[in-house]
Structure 1
Amino acid sequence: MLDKKSYKLLKKLSKVPFLTYSEINGVLKTNTNFEHEINEYTQHLCTLGYIQPHSSGVKGDFNSDIYDGYEINLNGQGYVDDKQEKFWQFLIPYCITTLVAIIALFVAA
């Protein structure tokens, strides 16, 4: 189970290809001391395996990748899709039941 801010970040990442470190701080309204420092919500999503670092395509020292942000992976996208599907599976029958009850009140009166 994710907290609200982590889920908000995961939903935002599911709609865009990737977010930079500063964009992530803007979405979550958090502030980190350094530009490439990650906050606790991003760290939690990484630990769960829902997001991964996004490579900028530039090689740094020792031929290593330079990361400029984070992107969602298949596990994270699956979590968002599953949560949205469960929401609609709850909402649609609830609305139908409420509508039938309201119609029954008008017919009975």
Structure 2
Amino acid sequence: MKVVCLWHATEDEILYIKNAVPAGVEVVSPKGDYFSRFECTYSDVERHSMDADALIGWTLPKGIVEISNKLKVLSWLHSGVDDLTQMGVLALAKQRGFK
């Protein structure tokens, strides 16, 4: 199983998530320069998201959900889902059956 953090997570944040999921789950986040550590771009997470089982984030780069063919869980760290509705993510979630 693979969890992708859609922000530039610190080592402590990654460790926190690893301690909360079953042993052996891979937890990754984008590396490198950023404008805001709580956002990422499509290119930051594209290679990780293709085989991700779960995405966690405050923002969702346009197109990431569409290429995440194994996606089972989307953890949206905001209240409200207006952005997800406008992006068509909720319709895709319903179609694919992920939570």
For the aligned pair, the TM-score class normalised by the smaller chain equals under 0.3
Larger radius of gyration: 1
Higher share of residues assigned helix? 1
